[in-house]
Structure 1
Amino acid sequence: MLRTPTPTHDANALGGSKNLGNLPEWDLTDLYPSNDAVELKRDLDWLEEACRSFAADYEGKLADLSAEEFLTAIHRHEKIENIAGRIMSYAGLRYYQLTTDALRAKFLSDHQEKVTIYTTPLVFFTLELNRIDDGIIDALFDANADLARYKPAIRRIRAMKPYQLSDEMEKFLHDMGVVGDAWERLFDETIAGLEFEVDGEPLTIEGTLNLLTEQDRSVREAAARELAAVFADNIKIFARVHNTQSKEKEVMDRWRGMPTPQTGRHLSNDVEPEVVEALRNAVVAAYPKLSHRYYELKRKWLGLDVMQVWDRNAPLPMEATRTVGWDEAEETVMNAYTEFDPRMGEIAKPFFSKGWIDAAVKPGKAPGAFAHPTVTDVHPYVMLNYLGKPRDVMTLAHELGHGVHQVLAAGQGEMLSSTPLTLAETASVFGEMLTFRRMLDNAKNNAEKKVLLAGKVEDMINTVVRQIAFYDFECKLHDARRGGELTPDDINALWMSVQAESLGPAFEFMDGYETFWAYIPHFVHSPFYVYAYAFGDGLVNALYAVYEENPDGFQDKYFDMLKAGGSKHHTELLAPFGLDASDPKFWDKGLSMISGFIDELEAMEG
């Protein structure tokens, strides 16, 4: 129910200089004026009473409600979701600005506990809802068109019916949720507090990862070795977090009777397991014609006999080292969005002018990038760690796409606005594609076009190949944990088992690379989230092909899809474009776009 913000993009864009212009910071006053605001206290008091009275009015009575009474109950539940979501968004976003600050961590923890305690009486709602016969539910929908609008949300709740525990057990697990969250916070605080030193300069993890995209190979190597050394020093903490989280999940899944560790994610994504399996198999089968082929090209460009891991995101030799100031980044993305449709530019504009983006890299700030939707009557907030490389522009385009999507879907209300993860990446990846196409069209010569194409291929490989390799690693990790505690060496071995397969024969792996699983936040915050990136990229590639073939009327259909939020299944959302993600051949269309870009790069060699 509660949407605490989590980092959601394994940002490929890392880079930097300090002369970036005036980088925006969040203004969180649209949520609450301050951490001791009377409005916050008022909302906490309201929430406690609203949850108590909701339970008093409806517990044990849901099956006997008329359609109108049931609609009133849903509206009351949505209002509770809204206030709880506002409180947790404020506490969470404030924390992510400075995760090393003990008072912010305490503020988040205290409010998490209060909200959990206050909302425990609501646990009955979904449990009782799932005990009502299908016939009664259908009759309620037939009797009231306004209630029928909530059918997709109710259907998703009822999909959990086979895995539901007793009322007492569900309340217990709800209360225990704050304990699991503590492991996530330990991970966040450990990552944000890591200290690195390269060539005598103290750096955060963002600054160190940034060096992996430097032109100077010795700097990239020094950064990779420093990352490995610091991860190794902290590997016991990361192994403990992963062991505990995966064991907690295994216990939960076993009690619920879930057939696989991935089942819960597929259910929350509203996607069929066979669709994900088809995606995974299509990508793995395409490794040789995608990542293996591209990295062989890159190996030649770099003039190397064999590539090391610190060469994976290296700039090309013909690529000029260039810092993109914030104003230029804003102009590039805004022009791309506006050229596609002026309405998109209008939605994106306030992100830059009203304190909806926090862009600068700062000590203690959460790494990576994300867009958090907050609640439907406020607006999203975008977090970046902007360091001025061209790929950072793509991350801005990506997260702004999430923001636009979230603004458009807000009209659906709390229960229907949240898009399943598989479709949540659609607008973000589409925003990247629009920005890339604009930059490609404006390329001054073939060399510049080559650099842009190669950069896009690398981003797509990072989004598709790398994330499916991450997914395979998670599958292996959770499977292995069922057999007992995993040592750091055990986890390292699982990581390496997917890396060579996905990256291909162009690579050699340095000692220490086996620990690089440790810093990926998705494994801790959102198990099995990562396939959503590959899903989104494949879907957008297919969508973009439709747009190129027949642009007439595309924008309106595209906006309708984004406005739908979570109110429709992926089959309904894609039908107007003549696309069907349940068709195994669907994924080959998306992958062929990446392959086609590599064909272009190979042709440039000739």
Structure 2
Amino acid sequence: MSTNTYSLTWDLDVFFKGGSESPEFAQYIEEISRLVEKFENQISQFIAPKHSEEISDLNEIIESIQEIGKKLQQASGFVSCLQAQDMADQKANLLRSTLTQISASFSTTVTKFHDQLTKIEENVWEDILEREEFSEISFVLNERRQKASELLSVDQEALITALSVDGYHGWGQMYDTVVGKMEIEHDDKVLSVGQASNLFSSKDRKVRKEIFEKWEETWGNESDYFAKILNHLAGFRLSVYGQRGWSNVLKEPLSINRMSNETLESMWGAIIDNKAPFVEYLQRKAKILGVEKLSWYDLDAPVADIDSTVSYSEGAEFILNQFDQFGDELTNFTKMAFEDSWIEAEDRAGKRPGGFCTGFPESAQSRIFMTYSGTPSNVSTLAHELGHAFHSYAMKDVHTLNKYYAMNVAETASTFAEMIVADAAVKNAKTEEERLALLEDKIQRSVAFYMNIHARFLFETRFYEERKNGVLSKNRINELMEEAQKEAYCGSLEEYHPHFWASKLHFYITSVPFYNFPYTFGYLFSLGIYAKALEEGKSYEKKYIALLKDTASMSVEQLAQKHLGVDLTKREFWEKAVKLSLKDVEEFLSITE
């Protein structure tokens, strides 16, 4: 197979030359500041129209929101990349603080605008939405008006936003700072937490156990800080909810994800009722590894002794070949991402752990961040992040206000891309041993979505409920974490990871609350889509792109009804999707009989 050589590092100069010291970027931030000031002036003079004819101001305001929104996302994407590629980049951290400040001002002004929308009479509002220039974005405008009606007064919301810069978001940034300084020593080497986490999939149980013990100890040593940060984040959020009269901690995450509680409960219900085969898989894996019961550090352990590391360029070619079976748009897009250096994959110290994809809407590009060490799981992660990037690309011609899709559907395109690659890897395995390893890699993902994410959901929900009554000690947080893990994994492990709450960035992300269940939603939703793609072959890509285009302009229930003809509030869809992933477990159990 002829393999192109692709760059392991990304190109950020195409946006702004000079990294965090870029004079061009400094000017860009000043420009955003000026636009936000101008926008504040615009809103201060805006009065809710009394008739549907009085809409020229409304048009101009929506154009300003689009322009500033794009620029803020572009700037934020750039800073995220700078911070991730070098955790010691102090200037990037300062830039993040500046952007947080500007975003807060913009957000406050947008809140004032939304408040004016609530003052428009219902019949006038309906007339406005029917007008040609607004019909395309009627769902989003309606949603914004509705949400505004559930908030406090404009002044109170402005105060909350202003205080959140040095309060709420400040604590989130504090977490990043502490993690950025953390190191783990192993084998006379000093590893970043990202490099250390890669060793959990080592073949050698001694290495895994050693890393896990140091991992627990390292996070434990800093857990005073993390407990303080987590308590303050939750405390801030709960205070705001309390002021708004919201008693259910899931109200905001469900609203952000445009989904109902019925859908969430149906999804978890279908999973809980179908966990038994996964427990059987974990027991079988323990037997293969020669232990009584698996421990947390065995979950990612390889079951087959194969040295299947693939170079970055080989991994890229494999992804391209598999995407090609699905559709030309996805393939051509991915080829461009590799050729134009959209991906930072180099395995080096000083990088942030984990992986992400961020968009640069003004340049109609994305950037992908990860640390590639050649494992099958790395290839899957790469495919996953490319799925995210394709989602943004598929929406390139959509109205800017219809591009803000939620986390749960954001995880759909990524998981779908990952599935194409993981499935193909199993089918193309050269030996039985390799087939087993790759099949198990797929099952590990199901276990992550049904058990690990479930544990996060249980933990976070319970933590918030207890936090309503006061601050929790680090020991109590450890207990809650371990209880959630035991329940989610059906008691199938020997040893759990009590400091998981400290090591998992998702609990500290301030832009979105409860970044857990959307992953599982995306996984199961994409399984449903994947089943369709297998049925219809390459011709399905057009329908798939049509679905992606709609992801930010309707509720997930409407999206599923329109594009898949299913009702997400009922268990049937979720049961079917879970059953698709059970096939892998059945195959694994029969191979390892």
- Normalised by the length of structure 1, the TM-score is 0.91
In structure 2, C-alpha distance between the alignment counterparts of 1:21 and 1:182, rounded to whole Å: 41
> 1:45 offset after TM fit, Å?
5.1
- Give CA deviations for 1:61-107 in whole Å, capped at 9, x if unaligned: 45556365233331222112122322333233322322332222112
> 1:563 offset after TM fit, Å?
2.4
> 1:552 offset after TM fit, Å?
7.0
> 1:112 offset after TM fit, Å?
2.5
In structure 2, C-alpha distance between the alignment counterparts of 1:605 and 1:170, rounded to whole Å: 58
- Kindly provide the amino acid, as one letter, of the partner of residue 16 in structure 2: Y
CA RMSD, aligned part only?
2.1
DSSP 3-state at the match of 2:483: helix
> 1:502 offset after TM fit, Å?
2.0
- Kindly provide the amino acid, as one letter, of the partner of residue 433 in structure 2: A
Match of 2:238 among 220, 239, 250: 250
In structure 1, the residue matched to 2:248 is 260
Select between 453-462 and 84-93 the one with higher mean Cα deviation. Answer: 84-93
In structure 1, the residue matched to 2:260 is 272
In structure 2, C-alpha distance between the alignment counterparts of 1:22 and 1:55, rounded to whole Å: 48
In structure 2, the residue matched to 1:521 is 505
- Give CA deviations for 1:503-545 in whole Å, capped at 9, x if unaligned: 23442116xx311221111111033121011101111112222
- Kindly provide the amino acid, as one letter, of the partner of residue 303 in structure 1: G
In structure 2, relative to structure 1, the CA distance for the partners of 1:393 and 1:172 (3 Å cut) is same
> 1:377 offset after TM fit, Å?
4.5
Select between 269-278 and 345-354 the one with higher mean Cα deviation. Answer: 345-354
In structure 1, the residue matched to 2:192 is 204
> 1:52 offset after TM fit, Å?
3.2
In structure 1, the residue matched to 2:519 is 533
Is 1:302 equivalent to 2:317 in the alignment?
no
- Kindly provide the amino acid, as one letter, of the partner of residue 8 in structure 2: P
Is 1:156 equivalent to 2:140 in the alignment?
no
Asked if 2 retains the 8 angstrom alpha-carbon contact of 1:196 and 1:205, the reply is: yes
In structure 2, the residue matched to 1:493 is 479
In structure 1, C-alpha distance between the alignment counterparts of 2:107 and 2:16, rounded to whole Å: 21
Give unpaired runs (5+ residues) of structure 2.
none
DSSP 3-state at the match of 1:380: strand
In structure 2, relative to structure 1, the CA distance for the partners of 1:259 and 1:130 (3 Å cut) is farther
Is 1:595 equivalent to 2:582 in the alignment?
yes
DSSP 3-state at the match of 1:286: coil
Select between 425-434 and 81-90 the one with higher mean Cα deviation. Answer: 81-90
Match of 2:10 among 26, 41, 56: 26
In structure 1, the residue matched to 2:338 is 352
> 1:119 offset after TM fit, Å?
5.6
In structure 2, relative to structure 1, the CA distance for the partners of 1:520 and 1:41 (3 Å cut) is closer
In structure 2, relative to structure 1, the CA distance for the partners of 1:131 and 1:289 (3 Å cut) is farther
Is 1:110 equivalent to 2:110 in the alignment?
no
Counterparts of 1:77-156 in structure 2 under 5 Å? 77-117=65-105, 120-142=108-130, 144-156=131-143
In structure 1, the residue matched to 2:389 is 403
In structure 1, the residue matched to 2:164 is 177
In structure 2, the residue matched to 1:341 is 327
Select between 590-599 and 562-571 the one with higher mean Cα deviation. Answer: 562-571
- Kindly provide the amino acid, as one letter, of the partner of residue 17 in structure 2: P
- Kindly provide the amino acid, as one letter, of the partner of residue 588 in structure 2: L
In structure 1, the residue matched to 2:402 is 416
Asked if 1 retains the 8 angstrom alpha-carbon contact of 2:551 and 2:559, the reply is: no
Asked if 1 retains the 8 angstrom alpha-carbon contact of 2:87 and 2:180, the reply is: yes
In structure 2, C-alpha distance between the alignment counterparts of 1:348 and 1:63, rounded to whole Å: 49
Counterparts of 1:453-602 in structure 2 under 5 Å? 453-509=439-495, 513-525=497-509, 526-551=512-537, 553-574=539-560, 575-602=562-589
In structure 1, C-alpha distance between the alignment counterparts of 2:373 and 2:176, rounded to whole Å: 21
DSSP 3-state at the match of 1:261: coil
- Kindly provide the amino acid, as one letter, of the partner of residue 183 in structure 2: E
In structure 1, the residue matched to 2:411 is 425
DSSP 3-state at the match of 2:395: helix
- Kindly provide the amino acid, as one letter, of the partner of residue 254 in structure 1: G
In structure 1, C-alpha distance between the alignment counterparts of 2:207 and 2:508, rounded to whole Å: 30
- Give CA deviations for 1:41-62 in whole Å, capped at 9, x if unaligned: 562354244323422442x345
In structure 1, C-alpha distance between the alignment counterparts of 2:118 and 2:346, rounded to whole Å: 46
DSSP 3-state at the match of 2:368: strand
- Kindly provide the amino acid, as one letter, of the partner of residue 152 in structure 1: F
Asked if 2 retains the 8 angstrom alpha-carbon contact of 1:371 and 1:382, the reply is: yes
Asked if 2 retains the 8 angstrom alpha-carbon contact of 1:464 and 1:537, the reply is: no
> 1:568 offset after TM fit, Å?
2.8
> 1:22 offset after TM fit, Å?
6.2
- Give CA deviations for 1:137-172 in whole Å, capped at 9, x if unaligned: 211112x12311111211321332442111111111
In structure 1, the residue matched to 2:209 is 221
Asked if 2 retains the 8 angstrom alpha-carbon contact of 1:63 and 1:129, the reply is: no
Asked if 2 retains the 8 angstrom alpha-carbon contact of 1:156 and 1:270, the reply is: no
In structure 2, C-alpha distance between the alignment counterparts of 1:598 and 1:493, rounded to whole Å: 31
In structure 2, relative to structure 1, the CA distance for the partners of 1:376 and 1:539 (3 Å cut) is farther
Match of 1:191 among 163, 169, 179: 179
Asked if 2 retains the 8 angstrom alpha-carbon contact of 1:245 and 1:524, the reply is: yes
DSSP 3-state at the match of 2:38: helix
Asked if 2 retains the 8 angstrom alpha-carbon contact of 1:412 and 1:565, the reply is: no
- Give CA deviations for 1:199-227 in whole Å, capped at 9, x if unaligned: 22211111111111100110011000000
In structure 2, relative to structure 1, the CA distance for the partners of 1:500 and 1:210 (3 Å cut) is same
Asked if 1 retains the 8 angstrom alpha-carbon contact of 2:194 and 2:352, the reply is: no
In structure 2, C-alpha distance between the alignment counterparts of 1:122 and 1:334, rounded to whole Å: 42
Number of residue pairs the alignment of both structures matches: 581
Asked if 1 retains the 8 angstrom alpha-carbon contact of 2:227 and 2:474, the reply is: yes
In structure 2, the residue matched to 1:446 is 432
In structure 2, C-alpha distance between the alignment counterparts of 1:41 and 1:535, rounded to whole Å: 36
Select between 556-565 and 425-434 the one with higher mean Cα deviation. Answer: 556-565
In structure 1, C-alpha distance between the alignment counterparts of 2:147 and 2:503, rounded to whole Å: 31
- Kindly provide the amino acid, as one letter, of the partner of residue 435 in structure 1: V
Percent identity reads: 22
In structure 1, the residue matched to 2:219 is 231
In structure 2, relative to structure 1, the CA distance for the partners of 1:86 and 1:145 (3 Å cut) is same
In structure 2, the residue matched to 1:50 is 38
